[in-house]
Amino acid sequence: MSDSADITPSGPFAAVILAAGKGTRMKSARHKVLHPIAGKPMLGHLMDELATLTPKKMVVVLGAGREEVEPFVTERGAAVAVQEQQLGTGHAVLQARGALAGFDGMVLACFGDVPMVRAETVARMLHRLQADEPACVVLGFRPDDPLAYGRIVADASGRIEKMVEYKDASDAERVVTLCNSGLIAAKADDMFALLDRVGNDNAQGEYYLPDMVMVAQADGRHSAVIETEPWEVAGINSRAELAAVERDWQERKRADAMAEGATLVDPSTVWFSHDTKIGRDVTIEPQVRFGPGAKVADGATIHAFSHIEGASIGEGCSVGPYARLRPGAVMEKGAKVGNFVEMKKAVLGEGAKASHLTYLGDATVGANANIGAGTITCNYDGFFKYQTEIGAGAFIGSNSALVAPVKIGEGAIVGAGSVVTKDVEADALALARGEQSAKPGWAKKFRDAMRKKKAQE
């Protein structure tokens, strides 16, 4: 949900992403930055957003658990730097110096657990860095409750007069509502030269990234702050904070979907993935969840309690209620799946219907075919998957089992309750069930016998 389509940096830049922390508060075997938001690891959100600005280099600083994160980072073309000892955020940025050797552009230092930063905001930081040549540009925000965040004292133009940690702030400084997000941009030479001079004379004995602003000020150089919304710089250190960022992301996505012409009957109950695509005049009823890779074309209706992942839903289609579309499911224009229908790697042709209690897996269903209630494609023998082909206009009777590989020709009819193991020609009737027989009076004799036996016990 980036607003960065027409925003570009004012010069070459590199991004240094800090992700060396242990994330112990997550209480998880998974590295903190790999925990997902809307189906994508939080680090992926940040890296993909920054990539829209085409940085010259991207360096991710890793530490504990780096063997888990490194493949994810390198797949996205980023370099890895290692912080062996956790000596603070300033020390962490210094570990990227080797990876940026020879680079003389601008450097953004940001955090893998602050994943919602927009490319537009980064571009504004970089523009400000070149506008009046401050030593650093800091990203600030004004939360509803400043709590114990570090404060930024700045004039009306954004020139920083002082940055102070809450515990060191005076009563007058604590009244200031502009807080420090921790994100900083500087020219590469300045970034590393200033950090080399940052000390660790503090309670934690660590080298803090924001202290470079005060080092620059001691040299008579000014720094600047730009502001953004609090949600954009929300950090994630616990499961509760992860849930809060997910909630905020979902609320923005729902608002975007409605602004673009979709109807969400009960917005708070609809959950999107990071890549969900919704057309206009789509109606989404309550309790619908989209997994990754879902696309819904104009005019479709998604009824309540449906789950859609890796599926493409065509114009004017109807899904659910209680339907499940798994990866590879394709519904062409005007197709319908009803309650308790599941599709996986299957194509439902234009105008085709599977209205109730059906499984379509590894199947192709032609236009205007009708799949009766309880029909299943038997696509798996325990070792391999097989295809079922159902021709246009075919009619599959209720409670039929189509044992793949099998082809049902165009216009063919499969009688209800059939187990079809051989191909059916076009326009043919296929019946594959035992012949019905009847024994008059047998049921009464059976009941009488059972009652007598029960009475004797």
pLDDT per residue over 178-203, tens digit each? 999 999 999 999 999 999 999 988 77
How many of the other CB atoms lie within 10 Å of CB of 340? 18
Domain 239-430 sits in CATH at: 2.160.10.10
Read off the pLDDT of each residue in 64-70 and give the average, rounded to a whole number.
Answer: 93
pLDDT at 5 over 60: no
How far is the C-alpha of 23 from the C-alpha of 42, rounded, in Å?
13
How far is the C-alpha of 256 from the C-alpha of 413, rounded, in Å?
45
pLDDT confidence tier of residue 57, bands split at 50, 70 and 90: very high
One of 31, 35, 91, 356 is an active-site residue; which one?
356
Residues counted in the chain: 457
Read off the pLDDT of each residue in 331-357 and give the average, rounded to a whole number.
Answer: 98
pLDDT confidence tier of residue 316, bands split at 50, 70 and 90: very high
- Tokens 């702030």 sit at which residue? 169
Give the pLDDT confidence score for residue 4 in this predicted structure. Answer: 42
How far is the C-alpha of 103 from the C-alpha of 203, rounded, in Å?
34
Give the pLDDT confidence score for residue 173 in this predicted structure. Answer: 87
Give the pLDDT confidence score for residue 22 in this predicted structure. Answer: 81
Burial (CB < 10 A; 0-12, 13-18, 19+), residue 384, is exposed
How far is the C-alpha of 71 from the C-alpha of 270, rounded, in Å?
32
3-state secondary structure of 72: helix
Mean pLDDT of the chain: 95
Read off the pLDDT of each residue in 292-320 and give the average, rounded to a whole number.
Answer: 98
Give the pLDDT confidence score for residue 403 in this predicted structure. Answer: 97
How far is the C-alpha of 357 from the C-alpha of 346, rounded, in Å?
16
Dihedral sign for Cα 298, 52, 4, 274, please. Answer: positive
How far is the C-alpha of 120 from the C-alpha of 209, rounded, in Å?
23
Give the pLDDT confidence score for residue 7 in this predicted structure. Answer: 65
Amino acid at 81: A
Give the pLDDT confidence score for residue 325 in this predicted structure. Answer: 98
Least confident of 39-53, 67-81, 82-96, 198-212: 198-212
CB 151 within 8 A of CB 180: yes
pLDDT tens digits along 18-52: 999 888 999 999 999 999 999 999 999 999 999 99
How far is the C-alpha of 81 from the C-alpha of 100, rounded, in Å?
10
CB 277 within 8 A of CB 259: no
pLDDT at 64 over 90: no
Least confident of 3-12, 44-53, 102-111, 376-385: 3-12
Give the CATH superfamily of 13-233. Answer: Spore Coat Polysaccharide Biosynthesis Protein SpsA; Chain A (3.90.550.10)
Least confident of 98-102, 127-131, 148-152, 164-168: 164-168
pLDDT at 140 over 50: yes
Least confident of 194-203, 243-252, 306-315: 194-203
- Helix ranges restricted to H, 260-344: none
pLDDT tens digits along 398-448: 999 999 999 999 999 999 999 999 999 999 999 998 888 899 999 999 999
pTM, rounded to two decimals? 0.90
What are the residue ranges spanned by the domains of the chain? Answer: 13-233, 239-430
pLDDT at 146 over 90: no
Higher pLDDT, residue 9 or 236: 236
How far is the C-alpha of 177 from the C-alpha of 197, rounded, in Å?
29
How far is the C-alpha of 173 from the C-alpha of 175, rounded, in Å?
5
Q: Please determine whether the domains at 13-233 and 239-430 fall in the same fold group of CATH.
A: no
Q: Note if 303 is an active site residue.
A: no
